[in-house]
């Protein structure tokens, strides 16, 4: 990876662009028509080989030209891109032996007419290089802005990958150390390309060694990037910072000079987006996990995770129905201010230390928020958040918060008597039936909304409610019956 990924190197100048400058009157008289120029250099030495860097357009008047074939062969060995031969004052025309040697060695030969000075050719080359560099800088600036905008979207990691695929016109993927694909964008490469990208990912982001007895052997440091080619497709892999064991893999049809810089910008953004959240005490979380595994109770380890005596549980699902994963779950957790997140199938669960009566909606997500609860009551708060999420999805709102039913008529009945009455009234119902009835009543008897909240078919809801009416031997269309059942369900739940 370059030391300054935001500054691209100067791209080469196609020989055709220099030949197109009509004021120079340059003419290609031998060798191939395609070449890339990185420098321009003037030399009248018999053998300029030791002083060439490669990629030069070498300008000469042939002052010490003796053996044309040896001279051209040495230029090719040095990596020169083209030879410009000035007519006069030494030669009236380009020597035929030099033309033949350039054709034989595959070195482009340009005739520089007497009226064109070498300094004019050099100035034209440098001007073309400056224009190319400015174009590349503008391209990188546009790409940087587009990637930064993508990183600010509700689902930043896939958004950055999609934008990178657009900028590089290729396939991009975020891979784990074992080659697993977390996110990808930009088409479907051939199997051999996928295999090669997985190999590069393992090279730059190797999996951590498995634990075992005794000290682990020292390992050679891994490269931060690696490249390969498969059937004309250019492959790249970059390790993400922070030691997450993730790699950014690219497969592009061509290799432009600015691609490496644009990829470097994406690597920085993805490293920040996928880095473990550091807002909470990492050591405290590790200690809490160890103590739980060794048999401690939740109330004993809760002080290690936060400084409050109450907790809030948030359940979330993607608003567009796409599955959640640990990366966007962590991003959502950071947005809500917590590092304690988990993905259970398609639902993200986040644990917020403290009371959070006013959790803000998050773009791209549907949220259900529990009421504040002590650590001993977290399972109940988890149920509250799940029901709140179902209610939010059923009513098509971005966020729903559990509202405890304190006060009102329900407070006039002693809790133990209310609970005893609820048990007796609801005894014929199984737990799934009671939950369906509670959800149906909370949504004012809407079949469709209840089906959405419970993630079942509306006919299933109808069958369950009909079963409830039969087991309870009552008319659920009666408002008095609905009211009594609602109070019983609330008392039974609490």
What CA–CA distance (Å, rounded) separates 453 from 311?
24
The CATH T-level fold of domain 134-207+223-274 is Beta-Lactamase (3.30.450)
216 vs 409 pLDDT, higher one? 409
Out of 298-302, 437-441, 456-460, 485-489, least confident range:
298-302
pLDDT of residue 133: 87
Q: Which residues contact 434 (CB under 8 A, 6 or more apart)?
A: 426, 489, 492
pLDDT of residue 214: 45
Where in the chain are the domains? Answer: 27-115, 134-207+223-274, 305-401, 410-493
Out of 253-257, 298-302, 385-389, least confident range:
298-302
> In the chain, pLDDT over 90 holds for what percent of residues?
31
The CATH number of the structural domain formed by 27-115 is 3.40.1390.20
Range among 83-92, 104-113, 218-227 rated most confident: 104-113
pLDDT of residue 1: 36
Q: Please check the confidence at residue 18 and state whether its pLDDT lies above 50.
A: yes
Q: Please check the confidence at residue 29 and state whether its pLDDT lies above 90.
A: yes
pLDDT in tens, 415-440: 677 778 778 888 888 888 888 888 88
* C-alpha separations of 48 from 52, 62, 74 in Å: 7, 12, 8
* Strands (DSSP E) found in 88-154: 109-112
Range among 25-39, 148-162, 271-285 rated most confident: 25-39
pLDDT in tens, 279-291: 445 667 677 777 7
Q: Please check the confidence at residue 278 and state whether its pLDDT lies above 50.
A: no
pLDDT of residue 104: 96
Determine whether domain 410-493 maps to CATH 3.50.50.60: no
Q: Please check the confidence at residue 5 and state whether its pLDDT lies above 80.
A: no
Beta bridge partners of 249: 173, 237
pLDDT of residue 7: 45
Of 359, 361, 343, 341, which Cα lies nearest the Cα of 351? 341
54 vs 220 pLDDT, higher one? 54
What CA–CA distance (Å, rounded) separates 51 from 363?
60
Q: Please check the confidence at residue 128 and state whether its pLDDT lies above 90.
A: yes
Terminal Cα distance for the chain, rounded? 59
Q: Please check the confidence at residue 9 and state whether its pLDDT lies above 80.
A: no
pLDDT of residue 243: 54
Evaluate whether 469 touches 476 at the Cβ level (below 8 Å). yes
Q: Please check the confidence at residue 187 and state whether its pLDDT lies above 70.
A: yes
Range among 155-169, 296-310, 477-491 rated most confident: 155-169
pLDDT band of residue 373 (cuts 50, 70, 90) is confident
Mean of the pLDDT values across residues 149-162?
88
| 398-147-193 Cα angle (round to 5) | 105
Q: Please give the mean pLDDT across all residues of the chain.
A: 83
- Judged on CB neighbours under 10 Å (0-12, 13-18, 19+), 310 is middle
Evaluate whether 162 touches 187 at the Cβ level (below 8 Å). no
pLDDT of residue 409: 56
Strands 39-42 and 56-60 turn out to be parallel
pLDDT of residue 279: 43
pLDDT band of residue 166 (cuts 50, 70, 90) is very high
pLDDT of residue 213: 43
Out of 22-31, 189-198, 291-300, least confident range:
291-300
pLDDT of residue 404: 67
């Amino acid at each position: 990876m370059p030391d300054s990924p935001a500054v691209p190197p100067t791209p080469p100048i196609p020989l055709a662009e220099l030949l197109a400058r009509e004021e120079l009157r340059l003419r290609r008289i031998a060798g191939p028509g395609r070449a890339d120029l990185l420098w321009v250099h003037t030399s009248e030495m018999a053998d300029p080989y030791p002083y060439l860097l490669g990629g030069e357009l070498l300008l000469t008047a042939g002052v010490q030209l003796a053996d044309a074939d040896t001279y051209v062969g040495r230029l090719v060995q040095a990596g020169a891109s083209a030879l410009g031969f000035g007519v006069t004052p030494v030669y009236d025309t380009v020597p035929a032996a030099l033309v033949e040697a350039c054709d034989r060695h595959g070195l482009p030969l340009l005739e520089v007419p007497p009226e064109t000075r070498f300094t004019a050719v050099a100035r034209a080359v440098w001007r073309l290089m400056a224009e190319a560099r400015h174009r590349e800088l503008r391209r990188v600036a546009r790409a940087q802005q587009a990637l930064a905008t993508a990183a600010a979207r509700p689902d930043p990691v896939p958004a950055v990958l999609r934008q990178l695929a657009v900028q590089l016109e290729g396939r991009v993927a975020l891979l784990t150390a074992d080659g697993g694909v977390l996110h990808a964008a930009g088409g479907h490469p051939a199997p051999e390309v996928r295999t090669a990208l997985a190999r590069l990912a393992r090279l730059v982001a190797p999996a951590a060694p498995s634990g075992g007895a005794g000290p682990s052997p020292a390992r050679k440091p891994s490269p931060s990037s690696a490249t390969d080619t498969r059937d004309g497709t250019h492959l790249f892999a970059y390790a993400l910072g922070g030691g997450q064991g993730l790699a950014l893999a690219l497969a592009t049809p061509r290799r432009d000079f600015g691609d490496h810089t644009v990829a470097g910008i994406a690597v920085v953004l993805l490293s920040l987006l996928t880095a473990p959240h550091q807002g909470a005490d990492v050591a405290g979380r590790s200690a809490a996990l160890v103590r739980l595994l060794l048999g401690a109770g939740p109330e004993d380890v809760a002080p290690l995770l936060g400084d409050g005596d109450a907790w809030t549980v948030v359940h979330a699902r993607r608003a567009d129905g796409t599955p959640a994963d640990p990366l966007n779950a962590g991003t959502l957790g950071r947005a809500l201010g917590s590092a304690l997140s988990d993905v259970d199938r398609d639902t993200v669960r986040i644990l917020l230390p403290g009371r959070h009566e006013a959790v803000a909606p998050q773009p791209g997500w549907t949220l259900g928020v529990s009421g504040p609860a002590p650590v001993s009551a977290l399972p109940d708060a988890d149920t509250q958040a799940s029901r709140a999420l179902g209610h939010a999805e059923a009513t098509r709102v971005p966020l729903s918060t559990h509202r405890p039913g304190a006060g009102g008529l329900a407070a006039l009945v002693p809790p133990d008597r209310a609970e005893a009455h609820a048990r007796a009234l609801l005894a014929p119902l199984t737990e799934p039936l009671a939950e369906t009835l509670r959800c149906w009543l909370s949504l004012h008897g809407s079949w469709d909304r209840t089906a959405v909240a419970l993630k079942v078919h509306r006919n299933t809801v109808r069958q369950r409610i009909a079963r409830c009416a039969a087991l309870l031997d009552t008319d659920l269309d009666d408002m008095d019956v609905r009211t009594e059942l609602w109070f019983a369900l609330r008392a039974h739940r609490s």
